[in-house]
Amino acid sequence: MNFIKSNLYLTLFLILLGLGPIASYGQEKGLTLALFDVDATPPIGSLLAYDPLEKKDDLGLRAKGVVISGSGLPIVICAIDWIGIANESQDAFKESLAEAASTIPSRVAVHTLHQHDAPISDWGAEKILKEAGLDPKAYESSFDRLLINNLKDAIRIALKDAKPITHIGTGKGIVEKVASNRRILGDDGHVAYTRTSSTKDKKIRDFPEGLIDPEVSLVSFWNEEEPLAVFSYYAVHPQSYYLTKIANPDFPGIARYMRQLSVPDAMHVHFNGAGANVTAGKYNDGAKINRKILAERLAKGMEQAWDNTVKTKITKEDVYWQQEPILLTPKETLPEIAQEMRTQNARWLTNNVQKLAWYNRQALGKKIDISCLTLGDVRILHLPGELFIEYQLAAKAERKDLFVTMAAYGDYGPFYIGPSSAYTEGGYEVGTSPVTAEAEPIIMGAIKKMLHREIPNNTTESPFVLKSESQQPLRTLAEWEEKKKSWKNNMASIMGTLPFRDNLKRPEINYLDSTVESTYTKHHISFDSNERNQVTAFLYIPHKIKVKAPAMLVLHSTGDLGKKIVDGQGPLENRALASELAERGYVVIAPDYPSFGEQKDHDFSKDGFDSGTLLAVWNHMRCVDALTYMDEVDSERIGVIGHSLGGHNALFVAAHDSRLKAVVTSCGWTPFDYYDIGEAGIKNYGGRLGPWAQDRYMPVIKKLLPEATLPFDFTHIIASIAPRPVFTNAPLQDSNFSVEGVKSGIEAIQPVYNWLGYPDNLQVRYPNASHDFPENTRKEAYSFLDDVFGFTPLKKLAFEK
């Protein structure tokens, strides 16, 4: 009895601390919502986007958001009262908030409301200015880092008090006499007047409102009858007047606060829509009283939307997160900013250096995610930059059967983004836009794809995403990593365990000889992979590398020629993967597999590894090490490709090395249950999996023959690589690896990619061929790599034209 009482007291004590059962209520089952709200106002004396901060507004600046848990990994959505967060700063915010919520950065959306009396953040711009010996001014990042840490702390605390989500509410209201179009066209179809946020010229104010979206949309989260959070979306430049040297959230922040007073039980989070060409200029001449008037009008529309709200039940099956990475085309003049910034004032730097930072990222293929949150019939789009209102209206028109709304001002790097038509009309916005008219089809293509995608219904039922000890889905990145760790341990029980890689030295490459081809130079190299083993390889360096290039680890198929096979020196066609990729502009390293090529006399009994497979993984990882140190290589864009022997070793090394961002496996795998070598083969090798028991592969399997059952499969290996992109070539007539097995395996793995929000990252092709990598499929595989890496090949191969 005393024991029971002691435990009861302990439980009550933990509850009081917020650590007991009450704190975790609803977190093991179903959907939950955690709320966080942090002061985002920098200290007096800090630089805002355009001025030093001298005073704080009564409301101050806020960073507010939620964590949605229970459908895939947690989803974090955050809105901040800043003018913009761009490029490397977006990366930092997303990575940090993801870490706090135990999720991945791609499931984090960070938006600003674009108030002008507020900070701007771009660590890439800060770095550019500092490296040029210039004062980073508004881009100085000290407070950015403090806010990030405060957000992380707030999220961790909020997760302890997460509440169940049972319903979603949706409502719309009309906002009157706030928004008007900024661009007024003349008879010639060009911009004749610009209606700024505060327009003093009555003639310009008196023009019609023009194209706007008058709707304010509300999405609310409920625990039965209790409202937990209200998201509001409205597209307009959020300025009544600015350059006050007072950090303030302007009229949208006041409207948000008014609604917080009216519905105090819920946290109110506001998002700016596609408001690049929409201002309050028709209804605002800059008089300070208009801030209050505009706020009241917006709050009235929000109130109407709240009164119109309709609640619907929601379950974890109704929630889905997806994203489409895009790469926008930059204007060719952007590099000129690097010279011009040395003579320009602080305001010019604020408006332009981020564009240069974005241009530099674009040149390295760094994409921006457009994402979409599905909540039943709701679609919330998360977009970058300052989008014109045409994008928002087009998105709503695309799916009139759904409740579609949009938050813009995500990654602020691309600045103004107009529709194609705007770039012939002129005006300030497109004149200062760093992107081209090609942006519209790219962005609208991504929007349409997400709005029309059928939401997978198997994202929480696959055994790959369930806790091993129960039928409950995994909820956090920590649980997902633990699941992957168990698969890796199972692999290690057969392959062996890699040596520690701590404090590894840079590979010392010996250049044995070189051959200059028309588009690249091929070096014959070697280096020690550790004290007992050596890598022998071909290294290909393209001649016309403008910026750091993507690189590929290319693994050959079974054959005495080893690396010469992928150089095109073997008797079989369709194997010259290394030389082809080099010709296209990739830096390539192609090593010998132990026991082939220059490694033909390798003694597996003396290499210190438990299996030839593991030694190969080690050597291949050392090849990746070598690539990361090369000046020509972008270390964030390294992939692996292989055929047959190289096909499964591409998977093995990618499962061990997260630096490999894309995988192409040709004729390289089928689940072990489908591996069939026939009666003669079984007799010859001592069992169906006997070929895998050779010293050059995984000799421990010998102990499990003849009826070997392995504790891991290729499905586990590919699932552990997810959500990184994997492309499989599985010919219909492949006698080595059953195509039926591949089809079964893909069906088993696809839910993992769906669950992580990357359904298209698992690609497979089934050409009508034998154990081969035919041209059409290679063309698709190379295009797949180009797309992943945001790379335009320097040259198209003959079969690609």
CATH number at residue 762: 3.40.50.1820
pLDDT of residue 469: 61
* 172 and 75, same domain (yes or no): yes
Q: Residues 525-551: what's their mean pLDDT? A: 96
What's the predicted TM-score (pTM) here?
0.94
Nearest partner of 639 among 574, 557, 726, 709, judged by Cα: 726
Name the pairing type of β-strands 120-121 and 167-174: unpaired
Contact between 732 and 643 under an 8 Å Cβ cutoff? The reply is no
Show the tokens assigned to 524: 């014959």
Contact between 248 and 359 under an 8 Å Cβ cutoff? The reply is no
* 402 and 483, same domain (yes or no): no
Residue 8 inside a domain? The answer is: no
pLDDT tens track for 78-129: 999 999 999 999 999 999 999 999 999 999 999 999 999 999 999 999 999 9
Q: Which pLDDT band holds residue 458 (cuts at 50, 70, 90)? A: low
pLDDT of residue 676: 87
Q: Which pLDDT band holds residue 456 (cuts at 50, 70, 90)? A: confident
SS3 label, residue 591: strand
Contact between 522 and 569 under an 8 Å Cβ cutoff? The reply is no
The chain-wide mean pLDDT, for the chain, equals: 94
How far is residue 247's CA from residue 51's CA, in Å, rounded to a whole number?
10
* 654 and 574, same domain (yes or no): yes
pLDDT of residue 13: 42
Q: Name the strand (E) or helix (H) holding 112.
A: strand 108-112
How far is residue 263's CA from residue 303's CA, in Å, rounded to a whole number?
10
Residue 485 inside a domain? The answer is: yes
pLDDT of residue 457: 74
The domain in which residue 584 lies consists of 479-790
pLDDT of residue 459: 66
Residues ≥6 apart with Cβ < 8 Å to 1: none
Q: How many CA atoms lie within 13 A of 777 on its CB side?
A: 25
Show the tokens assigned to 678: 């026939």
Does pLDDT of 20 surpass 70? no
Residues ≥6 apart with Cβ < 8 Å to 714: 648, 651, 669, 670, 671, 672, 745
* 437 and 494, same domain (yes or no): no
* 231 and 309, same domain (yes or no): yes
Does pLDDT of 53 surpass 70? yes
Contact between 56 and 193 under an 8 Å Cβ cutoff? The reply is no
* 439 and 495, same domain (yes or no): no
pLDDT of residue 381: 98
Residue 22: CB atoms within 10 Å: 13
pLDDT of residue 578: 98
Residue 10 inside a domain? The answer is: no
pLDDT tens track for 662-671: 999 999 999 9
Q: Is 160 exposed, middle or buried (0-12, 13-18, 19+ CB in 10 A)?
A: middle
Q: Which pLDDT band holds residue 391 (cuts at 50, 70, 90)? A: very high
The partner residues of 522 in beta bridges, in order of sequence, read 515, 540
- What's 337-402 look like in SS3? HHHHCCCCCHHHHHHHHHHHHHHHHHHCCCCEEEEEEEECCEEEEECCCEECHHHHHHHHHHCCCC
* 445 and 499, same domain (yes or no): no
Residue 561 inside a domain? The answer is: yes
Residue 4 inside a domain? The answer is: no
Does pLDDT of 26 surpass 60? no
* 336 and 402, same domain (yes or no): yes
The partner residues of 425 in beta bridges, in order of sequence, read none
How far is residue 102's CA from residue 754's CA, in Å, rounded to a whole number?
18
Residue 2 inside a domain? The answer is: no
* 437 and 504, same domain (yes or no): no
Residue 656 inside a domain? The answer is: yes
Residue 102 inside a domain? The answer is: yes
Contact between 429 and 422 under an 8 Å Cβ cutoff? The reply is yes
Number of domains observed in the structure of the chain: 2
Residues ≥6 apart with Cβ < 8 Å to 124: 86, 87, 88, 89, 354, 357, 358, 360, 361, 413
